[in-house]
Every structure is written in structure tokens, then in C-alpha cells.
Amino acid sequence: MLGLICDRVNEYYTYSIYLDLARFVPTCSFRPRHADRRGWRALDARHGRVLLRGMSREPRHLVVWDPVTDDWSQLPTGPPLLAYNWNAAVLCAACGTGACDQLDCYLRPFLVVFLGTGVDHMTLWVYSSEVGAWSEPTSVVQFPKYHADLLPSAIVGNALHFIIDYSSRIFKYDLATREMFVILQPPGSYSSCTTIMTMEDGGWELQEWKVLDSPCG
């Protein structure tokens, strides 16, 4: 691992994009050309690339950044969806075919999967760096008013997983078949601190942090 991506958030709630920045914190001797990206927040990171969200007045301004090569790929105007909330993930294009070996992903094309929620539906678009454009809506699923949580996603096999509905459900998108599913989490796992993680054996698990009061306070 070369480093970590962390965000410095605008603590003063004033409109200044320069009070927000995404920072690359190295864990070895490697130093990126631009460690700080002012006016941006890290939304996702995977396979050597970082998906950044612009903190301007257009919240769906997305860029894919490679800290090693300093390649800066600005995505076209985001999906035309009046979503009240959304999430997105970046991944190697080979994940859709199961051919990703996670070794040379930075040399391969990439995908950005954008999940947006409206009043009574959830809609998904996929951006392909090979095509240089967003797809048409992959599908529209008639669900209740689920909330797309801004929490890390996870890839298991050919499927991408998002946490939705205030950590009570998992949204699964199969990259190969383009099918969409909603998985209900166990009631005891409902928490804003829930994170879904890919395991070493290729499966996934839920991680939840709980704080319990003891008799001693």
C-alpha cells in the first residue's frame, strides 16, 4: 500500500471550496506530485484510482485521479437525475468480466458506477473510460424512498455493493448481468457506523462499531 486518502472538511460551514481538500498521506517513500487536491473530497478509491467529488455548486462534478501517474480524468456532466442523494464507485473495467487480477489495473480502462435515488425509484448509470461517456440508465427499480448512504462500497466477484437506507439494506449491482438487488441486513446491524468489506476469500462481511455503557460508567 502506497498511502491513504483522507478528507479535510470545511468546519466553518461557509461557502468556500478551498476549505475542503482530499489529501494523499503516504505510508512509504513514495510521494505524489500533488498530494493535496483543494476543493475536492474523496468519494471512493480502488485499484490505484481515486474518485473525487467537486465541492462546488454542482455536486455531481466527478474526477478520477491516479496519484501515481497524476493522471486527471474529468468525467462528463453527471447523469441527468434530480436525485435527492447518491453515491458512486470507481473500479477496473475488467471487474465486469471477472478478469481483474488487481495487479495492473492502473493500465486498464475504468468504470464509474453512479447510484441515484429519487422519490420512488433508484437509478444507476455506468461511465466507461473506453467510451468516454455515461450509459443510458441501466435499469430503474421501483423501490420505496431508499436513501443512498455515502459509505464505502465493496466488490464481490462481478457484483458491486452499496449500503443504502441508513445502513439497513445493501444494494447489489451485478456488473456482468446488470441485474439489481436489495438485501435486507439483520436488524441488529442497523447503524450509521456500518461498513461493508470484501474478505480475503472473495466474500463480504459487515463491520459495525458499537459503544456500550458499562455499570461503572
Domain assignment of residue 66, yes or no: yes
Domain total of the chain: 1
> Per residue in 48-84, pLDDT tens?
899 999 887 565 689 999 998 999 999 998 665 556 7
* The pLDDT of residue 214: 36
pLDDT at 21 over 90: no
* The pLDDT of residue 212: 40
Domain assignment of residue 97, yes or no: yes
* The pLDDT of residue 44: 95
Domain assignment of residue 214, yes or no: no
Domain assignment of residue 171, yes or no: yes
Is the dihedral angle over the CA atoms 119, 204, 126, 33 positive or is it negative? positive
Domain assignment of residue 139, yes or no: yes
pLDDT at 34 over 60: yes
Domain assignment of residue 217, yes or no: no
- The type of residue at 136 is E
Torsions phi, psi of 174, nearest 5?
Answer: -85, 115
> Per residue in 140-168, pLDDT tens?
666 667 888 888 899 888 899 999 988 88
Structural domain of 62: 3-207
DSSP string, 100-123: --SSSGGGS-EEEEEEEE-SS-EE
Residue 161 and residue 153 in contact, taking contact as beta carbons nearer than 8 Å:
yes
How many Å apart are CA 169 and CA 193, to the nearest integer?
13
- Higher-pLDDT residue of 15 and 72 is 72
Domain assignment of residue 137, yes or no: yes
Q: What is the CATH number of the domain that holds 103?
A: 2.120.10
**E strands along the chain, which residues?**
3-8, 21-26, 36-38, 40-46, 49-54, 62-66, 71-74, 85-92, 110-117, 122-128, 133-134, 140-141, 154-156, 159-164, 169-174, 180-184, 195-198, 204-207
How many Å apart are CA 166 and CA 146, to the nearest integer?
8
Domain assignment of residue 108, yes or no: yes
Residues 6 or more apart whose CB falls under 8 angstroms from that of 141 comprise: 121, 122, 123, 180, 182
